Every structure is written in structure tokens, then in C-alpha cells.
Amino acid sequence: MSSAHLAAVDLGASSGRVMLARIGPGRLELTEVHRFPNEPVRAGDTLHWDILALYRGILDGLRAAGPVTSIGVDSWAVDYGLLDASGALLGNPVHYRDGRTDGVAGQVAIQLGEERLYTTTGLQQLPFNTLYQLAAAAGTPQLDIAHRLLLIPDLITYWLTGQLGAEITNASTTQLYDLRRRTWATGLMADAGIRDDLFPPLREPGTRIGPVRPDLGVPGSPEVVAVGSHDTASAVVGVPAAGDRFAYISCGTWSLVGVELDAPVLTEASRQANFTNESGVDGTIRYLRNVMGLWLLQESLRTWGNHPDLPDLLRRAARQPAFRSVVDPDDPVFLPPGDMPARIADACRRAGEPVPAGPAATVRCIIDSLALAHRRAVREAQQLSGRHVDAVHVVGGGARNELLCQLTADACGLPVLAGPVEATALGNILIQARAAGVVDGDLTALRAVLRQTQHIVRYKPRGDEAAWGAAETRMRG
Ligand code: LFR
């Protein structure tokens, strides 16, 4: 194993980061070079991503990182920018939490056939899948004159290199990708009235895309390498598991809860349970469900004026009685931005649960409810896929949340292995490192590097199964 300096660009829902990795024999160190806010902007009736502010943050970070061999870019899924025939961006990308897709998914899915959609694309029904965003945008001048559609990491890569392409882990989240044929689902596009010439050629993670444009002033003339450009794909690469008997929770704004498989599960039961089959690195399948995640807490904090002391709030939440109030975090009422404590109070009222009194009780309701939703998804993933697990890996920012990790272990009746917090950036780096010949082997070999170098905390289940079972029944309503 030789050594290298590599940069990971990781765009999250609330901030973007440029991370510098120094990787060599027995060593993988990650430094945050630059973090910049990701502040969506509502203009008129539409919620947009401020893509140019993000791009500026990326360039600032890459210029500050010093010379690197390569760069990999990942971000959230499904959202896109449109380019005209000259390659200029047509408008600001729209945020997946924008209301333009309200009511669209149901109609489109019926028109195309729900079973056909599932057996072709393997995707769970989320109202903001790219298919539904494009259906909502049908007939708009921007879409009519668009020449190309690029998902967010592919757009950044295009600006960095001038190269057009669609990385497959993220392409697989559009609901316009044929999972088994590993091509764009052009038949579905035709029937949905979506032009297939919008979509650039697909590329696999690990592909060396090309050098960064010299005029950008990024030191060392690095190459951009395709990584698992869907942040969840990179996070799953970054799970420090030893074998295949594990579930993962990529826990941040969302909790992405599931197992890693060799083949998709496209059964009717799986469709009814709304589990997704997303394409992973090295031909794997991310079989998972989106659980609403720490978004409930983040939006509550925002409503309370960004409560100054989150650790104190979590300590006070830990002292609150367990399961006093539970809600179903996956209720679509929680999806758009807004006053989350008021929505939680409403949901409790509707379900006949006590209304949490004050921030500590609200936070306890959120954490108990998330632990229950984790339990439900871990159990269903096992039942539907036949893959049984011995442990649950919690990676991402949520791995720092001791209360959530302990309650998740208790709820699932399984040990939780928490960390790394930076799984997404690490997964991004490992795929670049393999492309550079610094590490080799399959995902198990890459994950061994993480087990040697990263900090992982173990939480033992203290479960009272009957109590968790009863609380889950209440959450399900
Ligand atoms: C997580 C994530 C999820 C995706 C959601 C929306 O950051 O990428 O996997 O469902 O954001 O894109």
C-alpha cells in the first residue's frame, strides 16, 4: 500500500464540506478543510438550492486543501440542474422538499403502473423522486429547452472537469433507471413523456473522469474520480462491518435503514412495505427505507431559534420518562420545512398521545420515535430480504447522539456499533484510493481499513422487548 492525499467533496442538506484524507499503510486520517453552510432559498413559490454558493464553497475548499491526487464528489440524491445546449445552467436546482410534487406521485404511479415501476426501478415511493419532479415540471419553458439533466454531484463534476455523465449510484435514485439492465429506463421515460436524450451516459464508481480545469486554480492538477456520488452509497461503503450479517443506519438529516444485498428484492411484499433497492458500489444493492431522521430534531431546533446547548437538551431528554409520547416519524406531514414542535404536538393530539410539554419532552418524543422507526425498518429489512443480522452499524452525525444510539440498540435488541461519524467522506475517499491503486480489494477489504483506523463505540441492548413492542404498536397507530 502506497500513500496519497485525496479530497472528498460532501454536500449535505445543511452544510457542505471539503475533507482532506491522508491515506497510507495502516493510516487513514481525515481533516475538514472547509465547511460552508447550505442554506436553501425560497424565491417566489419555489424552494431552491443555492448551487452557486455551494460551488464557491467547494472551490474555496479545494484551493485550500493543497495538492491532492484526486477529488470525489457526493451529495444528497434525486435533485438536478438543467443545462441548455451551450452547457449553461437553466435556473437554480429545486429542493426536493419543495411543494411542487404535492399529489403528483400518486397520479404518475397509477398512469405508469405501480408494479411495473417497482419491478423496473426497484425504488420506494418518495414524493420527490426525480420522476415525479420531472412530471411536476412538465411543460415549463426550462424543461422544454433543456439539453441535459445532471444530478447535483454530476453538475459539480461537470463544472470542475467539463465532462458530462451520470454516476450510477445516484442515477438509481431517480426512478428512471432500470436496476437489472443497469441502463436508463427509456421505456418508462417514453411513457412518462420524459425525453431520454436529457440523460447523459452512465458511469460506474471508480471511473477516472478527467483532470480539473486548469483555470480553476485548484493546486496539483488533480483528477476527478467518480465515487458513490449518492451520499448514502458512500456512507454504506464507509460502514466498518466485517461480514455481511449487519444492518446499517446512515443517520443524519435522514435515517437510511437497511441491509446490503447482492440482488434486489422486488417482491410485492417489499413494494407494499416501501423498501427501496438502490444501486451500490461494486454492484451491491442498498436495500433500505428512508426514515425521517434527525430532520425532526434539526427543524425543532430551528423553530426554537437554534437552541444554544444541544448536549444539555439531549441530557434533559434522557431524563424524561420513556415512551411518554410517540409519533410515526415517517408521517408525510413532517417532510416540508416548518414548525416541527407544533406538528409533533398535532400528531400526538390526533393519535391520543400526551402532547409533549416543552423542548426536553419534545426531543424525547423524537428520539423514542426514531428508535422505534429504526426497529421497525431493521426488522422488516430482515424479513423481506431473508438477510439476518447480528449488529446494527450507525454511521454519520447521528453516531454522536448517545441517547439515540442506546435507544436504537434497546429497540432493535441488537448491539449498535456507532461510527464513523464521517462515513460518507470516508466511503468517498476509499473508492478514490482504490482507483489510485493505494488500496485494493472488495468492499470487505476497504472496510477493514476503517476497522483499523476509525473510532467505533459499542452500545449493548438493554432491551425490555415487551415495552418496545407495545410502543411500536402505538407508533404504528
Ligand atoms: C440522504 C439522501 C437520501 C435521499 C435523500 C434525498 O442525504 O441522499 O438517501 O433519499 O437524501 O435526496
CA distances from 353 to 32, 320, 365, 471 (A): 43, 15, 10, 11
Q: How far is the CA of 254 from the centre of ligand 1 (A)?
A: 7
Which of 10, 231, 330, 368 is catalytic? The answer is 231
Task: State the pLDDT at residue 54.
Answer: 98
Has 464 been annotated as catalytic?
Answer: no
Residue 307 has pLDDT above 70, yes or no: no
SS3 284: coil
Share of the chain above pLDDT 90, in %: 98
Q: Measured in angstroms, how far is the CA atom of residue 24 from the centroid of ligand 1?
A: 31
Euclidean distance between the first and the last CA atom of the chain, given in angstroms as a whole number = 54
| Alpha carbon nearest to ligand 1 atom 6, residue | 77
Identify the pLDDT of residue 243: 94
CB 217 within 8 A of CB 63: yes
User: How remote is the CA of residue 231 from the centroid of ligand 1, in Å?
Assistant: 7
User: What separation in Å is there between the alpha carbon of 467 and the centre of ligand 1?
Assistant: 31
Q: Which of 123, 128, 131, 231 to mutate for ligand 1's pocket (most ligand atoms within 8 Å of CB)?
A: 231
Mean predicted confidence (pLDDT) in 193-200? 98
Helix or strand holding residue 269 (H, E): helix 268-272
Whether residue 234 contacts residue 427, with contact meaning beta carbons closer than 8 Å, is answered with yes
Whole-number pLDDT of residue 26: 87
Q: Which atom of ligand 1 is nearest to the CA of 256?
A: 9
pLDDT digits (tens, 9 = 90+) for 78-123: 999 999 999 999 999 999 999 999 999 999 999 999 999 999 999 9
pLDDT at 250 over 60: yes
The answer for 283, left when phi > 0, alpha when psi is -120 to 50, beta otherwise, is left
Residue 234 Cα distances to 46, 154, 179, angstroms: 29, 15, 18
Average pLDDT, integer, range 445-474: 95
Please name the helix (run of DSSP H) or strand (run of DSSP E) that holds residue 373, with its range, or none.
Answer: helix 359-385
- Which is it for the CA torsion 403, 406, 410, 414, positive or negative? positive
Say if residues 199 and 166 touch (Cβ distance below 8 Å): yes
Taking CA atoms only, the protein residue closest to ligand 1 atom 7 is 76
Nearest-atom index, ligand 1, CA of 79: 12
pLDDT higher than threshold 70 for residue 73: yes
Q: What is the pLDDT of residue 1?
A: 55
Give the pLDDT mean for 396-425.
Answer: 98
Atom 4, ligand 1: which residue's CA is nearest? 77
Give the pLDDT mean for 122-142: 98
Say if residues 378 and 392 touch (Cβ distance below 8 Å): yes
Closest protein CA for atom 8 of ligand 1: 76
| Residues 149, 153, 159, 160, CA torsion sign | negative
Query: Which residue CA neighbors atom 2 of ligand 1 most closely?
Result: 76
**What is the 236 CA–ligand 1 centroid distance (Å)?**
13
Q: ipTM of the assembly?
A: 0.98
Whether 362 and 344 have beta carbons less than 8 Å apart is answered as yes
CA 124 to chain centre: 14
Provide residues with CB under 6 Å of ligand 1.
76-78, 96, 230-232, 253-254, 256, 290
Relative to the CA of 13, which ligand 1 atom is closest? 7
pLDDT tens digits for range 338-395: 999 999 999 999 999 999 999 999 999 999 999 999 999 999 999 999 999 999 999 9
Q: Which residues contact 141 (CB under 8 A, 6 or more apart)?
A: none
The full DSSP string for 37-87 is: E---EEETTEEE--HHHHHHHHHHHHHHS---SEEEEEB-SS-EEEE-TTS
For residue 71, the CA-to-ligand 1 centroid distance in Å is 21
